[in-house]
Every structure is written in C-alpha cells, then in structure tokens.
Amino acid sequence: MKLKLAAICLVVFMLIATACGGGDKGQNGKANQSEGTQDTDKAPEFDKDDMFGKYAEPITLSLGKSVSTKDTNLPSGDTVDNNEFYRFIENKLNVKVTHAWQTETVDAYQQKLSVSIASRDLPDAFIVNEKQLKHLVEADLIADLTDIYHSLASPLVKDYYESYGDLVLNRATIDGKLMALPSTTISGQHNLTWIRQDWLEKLELNPPKTLDDLIAVAKSFIENDPDGNNKKDTYGMTGIPELGGVGYSTPNTFETIFGAIDAYKSQWLKDKSGNVVYSSILPEMKTALAKLHELYAAGIIDKEFPVRKDPNELAAGGKLGIVFAPWWFPYTNTFPDSIKNDPKAEWKPYSGPVDADGKYNTYDVDPAGSYLVVRKGYKHPEAVMKVLNVEYQALRWLDPDAVDIYKGLNVSWTLWPFALQLDYKDAVYRYHMELKNAWEAKDPSQITTQFVKGWYDNVAINAENPKKNLAAWSEAMSRMDGSAEANPANYNEVQNVFYGRTKTMEQKWAILEKMENETFLKIVLGEEPLDKFDAFVKEWKKLGGDQITKEVEEEAK
C-alpha cells in the first residue's frame, strides 16, 4: 500500500548494544572529527535573521544516509549524492552536501550507524531513533540545537511543529535542551468503516451509527444477497489475526469495534485516577473480546480471517461489504479491483461505529518517529537547520525556483538531503478542505498548495467520466471522501503517555506481545474461554508487565 503523499512517518527501528562505548579518541579525549570541521564547545555564531542566507564561502555538510541507488528515476549522470536537489541546496546556501557514507537498505543503515556511534566516527548530520538519541546525548556526541531552532527555523518548519503543540519538540528535548529535529506523524490516519453504499441502498438500509447498527448491516449483507447472484456467498466483515494494536493505520484491524466499547489494544494510557495503565489488560478489552467472539461465532466475522493470506481478497472480489481501513485505502488495489469486478460498486467511508456517548474513538500515534541530529563539534550546526528550511520551501513548491525540478520524472522526495517527514498535524483534513473549497467554487486558482492542484485535476477527470480512469477515481475517493472523515471534529483521539521502549521491555516485550496476540485470538475463535483473559492478565503482570508499567510511569512523568 503506497501513498502518493508520504503520510506516514519514516521510523528507523534499531537497537544498539554498544552505542556509546569505546572508539578512538584524540589526545583531548574528544571523538574523531570529519575533515574540514572543528571540535569546539563554543556556542555557534550566526545571524538570527539569516534562515535562508547564503554563506559567503562554501562549506561542507556530510551525511550518513540510507538511500537505494536502484530505480531512482534520476536522469543519466545524476546520482543519489549528486543531483538537482543537492545542487539546488548548494546554489541557494553555498552548502555542499556530501555522504560520509550511505547504505542501500535500512538494515544496512542500522548496522553502519551502530558502528559509527560505537567508534565515535560520526557524519555531520544523520537520522536516529529515540533510543539512539538518548545514547548520543548521554555520550555528549551531538549538538544542542535549542538556540539554532528558535532563531533559524523557518516559519513553515515552525508552523509544522507548533501544530502539534508541545508533543513533537518535547520528544527531542532532554534536560531542557532541544537535541534533535524530530520527524512528525500526521493524525487522522486511523481506520474508518468503508461500506458498499450500493449494497446499503439496494437492501434499503440506513448507514450504521452504533455497533448494533453495524452488526445489523453486516448480517443483512450476508443473508440478503446484495450482489444479486442468487447465492449465499457474501460476507459482512473480516480482519487480521492480530486483531489490532499493530499500527495506527493498518487496514482490517478491529480497532473500530474496540473503540465503540472504549477498548484499545497495546496502548499506554492513563486511567480515570491518573495512573498509567496498559490498555490490553483493562476490563474493557475483555468486553471487546467477548463481542468479537460473539460476532465470530455468529458468522458476522469471516470464519476464515485467521488463515487468509490476503485479507483484502474478499473486498477486491466483490464479496465483502464492510472494510476497516484509513482514508487512503482507495489508493490501494482493493477498491479499484472491486470496481473492475463490479462496475456498480460504490464505497463510502464512515466515522463509526460510535460509543454510548456518540463518540467515534481512536488513539493517537507516536508524533515523532525519527530524529535528525548534528554531530557535536561540527563547525556549522546551523547549516543543518538552513538546509532543512530550503528543502521544505522547495518540497512544498513555495520556492518558485524549485517547481520544475525533475518535473514529470517521479523522483522521490527522499533524495533530498534529509528524508525527514514534516507536515501539519491535521495535514490530511487541511489539504482536503483546500481541495474541497476550490472544487465547490470550480476555481482551481484558489489552491495555493501546489500538489493539491494535481488532486483537483484528477477529481475533475473522475467527475467527467466516473470510474473510467481508476487512478483518478482512487485519488478522488481518497482526497474528497476519505480525507473528509479526518476532520478532528469527527473523532475522539485518546492520548498515549508513552511510545518508546523501557529497559525491561527490551528484554521481555516480544514474549508478552506474543502471549497477548495468541490468547486474544484464541478467545475470539472460541478455542479458549473468555475467563482465559483474567489468567492472561495475571501472567502478563507476573512475567514483567508490572515492572514495565512502573518503568513507563517513570518515563511518562
């Protein structure tokens, strides 16, 4: 499932055992430095009004980067470290970006970075995960970016971060110092309930609001031949064996049903008393598992869901009426394939089912998945901020000089120096409204965000000949229908208090997670009684859960 808008944060998962130990040092005990830089504890000097200012003399910025040299779509002669993006930066800032090293894969990056950190032979700038960030701070290997950010971050970059309140920058702030520039993870990517609208209308059903409504619709889809082939071969809903908690925007989870019961899988929350709790062991989860078992036993949930290799095959084949998936799901092959099989197929997203209070509940996601850091001792740490400023002015087509770079070649934005995802927290709905307002006014000149203009064109193509161009249909459905449901007013987002890994989690989480998934699935399938949940909670606590909860509570202070 590939999005045309990179909407999901770039997360590097890497555990390092020797992040800060050993390594060669110079006579002064400091880490070895790259050629052309200097090691100094002196605070950087820079013009506080010079966020886009060009250096009078050329400087060099070396990166450690994971970027594949295959299928880049770069024209002949251009490479991943010598291309129009890098030349654009050099022309604008007089900063020559080089690669201290690069890898073809994320795994290779993890290995190389582990060696670099352990040996203290670091590039000038590189991207790390949260654990690595903390190791680097403890070892005093990276620069404090507090003053640089506040003085030099562009209005656009600051707007992105400020749209999250203090959630994002706080993740990179240690002992009051901003030690990294975090990525951002946009909200509104939770699962919606997509329904075959043509089936609803054929069976004269109302759109479901509550869980009982949804169950009634699913039952009708199963029993009343909505595809009109005089066979009982249609399904209500399906899922995946993990049930939920495996990713904020993973399709085919039962998160929508959990939310209607105020249950959440695998989240760290605060209870009504303000205590940190693990959501999977709360009574609400037992209630949710009981409901899923009831639906599975009644055949409302696809009996084969635990063993299906592709959970999307039923919807694609025109046999499923309800799909739990995010706003961008029409971009995948599933819905277009369903239209190929049945041109009358109409899919519509709903924010539901709602709970007893009329709220559609979901949970938030880690707002910062990766972190851009600067090696302590690099002579021009402010250059990293300036390069990021210029990069995002270009990426968002706010700099007219960048609009035609690689136009029509489909060169990935990740070939810019920093593959650091930044956007507004409400980006999905924000850009939807820009598109919607222009469309309703029939005036594309109202659009100020360049990439939204392309969406407008596809909405127009689909409106003129509905479903004839399935690529245009997919974009229209995702950007007009799906993203409309990302309106923050449409859902209640339960806030996590912790997203990382504690010391005990490093040792025991895999075992606890496996036990949780296996136990919950067996309860849903009826292979274990519901009371097995209580035994699971006791075992979870005994095998490390209680200790982990204490550690999370300490981290969340």
Answer whether residue 335 is part of any domain: yes
Burial class (CB in 10 A: 0-12, 13-18, 19+), 555: middle
Instruction: Note whether 406 and 550 are same-domain residues.
Output: no
Look up the CATH number of the domain holding residue 276.
Answer: 3.40.190.10
Strand partners, 178: 173
Answer whether residue 199 is part of any domain: yes
How many angstroms separate the CA atoms of 215 and 556, rounded?
Answer: 38
Instruction: Note whether 305 and 339 are same-domain residues.
Output: yes
Segment 482-510 shows an average pLDDT of 95
pLDDT tens-digit readout, 352-395 = 999 999 999 999 999 998 999 999 999 999 999 999 999 999 99
Determine the structural domain holding residue 531 and report its residue range: 190-364+492-557
Q: Which DSSP state fits 479?
A: I
Answer whether residue 293 is part of any domain: yes
Instruction: Note whether 274 and 336 are same-domain residues.
Output: yes
pLDDT at 248: 73
pLDDT tens-digit readout, 109-152 = 999 999 999 999 999 999 999 999 999 999 999 999 999 999 99
pLDDT tens-digit readout, 241-285 = 999 999 878 999 999 999 999 999 999 999 989 999 999 999 999
Instruction: Note whether 411 and 356 are same-domain residues.
Output: no
How many angstroms separate the CA atoms of 511 and 513, rounded?
Answer: 5
Instruction: Note whether 204 and 296 are same-domain residues.
Output: yes
How many angstroms separate the CA atoms of 115 and 112, rounded?
Answer: 5
User: Could you tell me the pLDDT band of residue 45, with boundaries at 50, 70 and 90?
Assistant: low
Residues 6+ away with beta carbon under 8 Å from 477: 330, 335, 347
Q: Would you say the C-alpha torsion 543, 545, 548, 550 has a positive or negative sign? A: negative
Using the predicted structure, report yes or no on whether residue 1 has a pLDDT greater than 50: no
Instruction: Note whether 242 and 171 are same-domain residues.
Output: no
The DSSP element (H or E) to which 431 belongs, if any, is helix 427-441
Instruction: Note whether 387 and 242 are same-domain residues.
Output: no
Which of 384, 400, 415 terminates a domain? The answer is 415
